[in-house]
Chain A
Amino acid sequence: GESVGLHLPTLSVQEGDNSIINCAYSNSASDYFIWYKQESGKGPQFIIDIRSNMDKRQGQRVTVLLNKTVKHLSLQIAATQPGDSAVYFCAETSNDYKLSFGAGTTVTVRA
């Protein structure tokens, strides 16, 4: 079946360095992608989104890149801070409501 998945389950990064979190998807019909951050005991929090008519979108300290050719999505976090430690999920949808979530990548920021 079609699925959304993350390449690596964990990422350890030094404070101040840049982080890159990757995500692969297999549904070629997906046209909307979202990155979420989930801290312990909390619900997923929206970080940034991108539609399939774009290749790149930037937010505050975060950039999402979409490569439709290889069905790959990435989240870049600049100057990673301790508060960035969390589980990061990519999600995709082809109908704007039924999100399929990846397994999640746990990011740990080392001081």
Chain B
Amino acid sequence: DAGVIQSPRHEVTEMGQEVTLRCKPISGHNSLFWYRQTMMRGLELLIYFNNNVPIDDSGMPEDRFSAKMPNASFSTLKIQPSEPRDSAVYFCASSSLTSGYTFGSGTRLTVV
């Protein structure tokens, strides 16, 4: 089992550019989560999908952030346009009824 796979591991982009983060959950997991981690705010849940359907997006900071899950094996988190305050580590996690959360290794985003 390769675990939750995120790409890229690191992303440096200029302010105003579009950024797309990618996640492949563990096969068989029906829940997927996007988290953001910063020193100031710790780990925050951005959005939660169940069976590919967004259930709770109350943590998405603003309209610049969007997330999709077109199928059970792929999800994206997009920021457009990006701003320096979006700099953080973004984690994807997946779970199932019989298996708890498994986090990916994260994408470290730096917006300059």
Return chain B residues, CB-CB under 8 Å to A82. Answer: none
Mask of B66-105 contacts with A, CB within 8 angstroms, 1/0: 0000000000000000000000000101010000111111
Q: Point out the residue from A43, A102, A104 that lies within 8 Å of B105, measured CB to CB.
A: A43
Return chain B residues, CB-CB under 8 Å to A103. Answer: 42
Q: Point out the residue from A42, A46, A99 that lies within 8 Å of B102, measured CB to CB.
A: A46
Task: Classify the secondary structure of B's interface with A.
Answer: strand
Interface residue count on the B side (C-beta < 8 Å): 20
Separation of A34 and B95 alpha carbons in the complex (Å): 14
Query: Which range contains the number of A residues in contact with the other chain?
Result: 10 to 19
Separation of A75 and B60 alpha carbons in the complex (Å): 31
Q: Point out the residue from A34, A41, A44, A98 that lies within 8 Å of B56, measured CB to CB.
A: A98
Return chain A residues, CB-CB under 8 Å to B25. Answer: none
Question: Given contacts A42-B105, A43-B106, are A34 and B100 in contact (CB under 8 A)?
Answer: yes
Within 8 A of A (CB), among B36-75: 42-43, 45, 48, 50, 55-56
Instruction: Answer whether residue A101 sits at the interface, using C-beta atoms and an 8 A cutoff.
Output: yes
Is A46 in contact with B101, judged by CB distance below 8 angstroms?
A: yes
Return chain B residues, CB-CB under 8 Å to A46. Answer: 100-102
CB distance from A69 to the nearest CB of B (A): 26
Within 8 A of B (CB), among A85-99: 89, 97-99
Q: Point out the residue from A41, A97, A102 that lies within 8 Å of B48, measured CB to CB.
A: A97
Return chain B residues, CB-CB under 8 Å to A45. Answer: 103
Question: Given contacts A34-B101, A44-B91, A46-B100, are A99 and B106 in contact (CB under 8 A)?
Answer: no
Q: List 6 A-B contacts (CB under 8 A).
A: A41-B105, A43-B4, A45-B103, A89-B43, A97-B33, A102-B42
Q: B residues bordering A, Cβ < 8 Å?
A: 4, 31, 33, 42-43, 45, 48, 50, 55-56, 91, 93, 95, 100-106
Q: A residues bordering B, Cβ < 8 Å?
A: 34, 36, 41-46, 49, 89, 97-99, 101-104
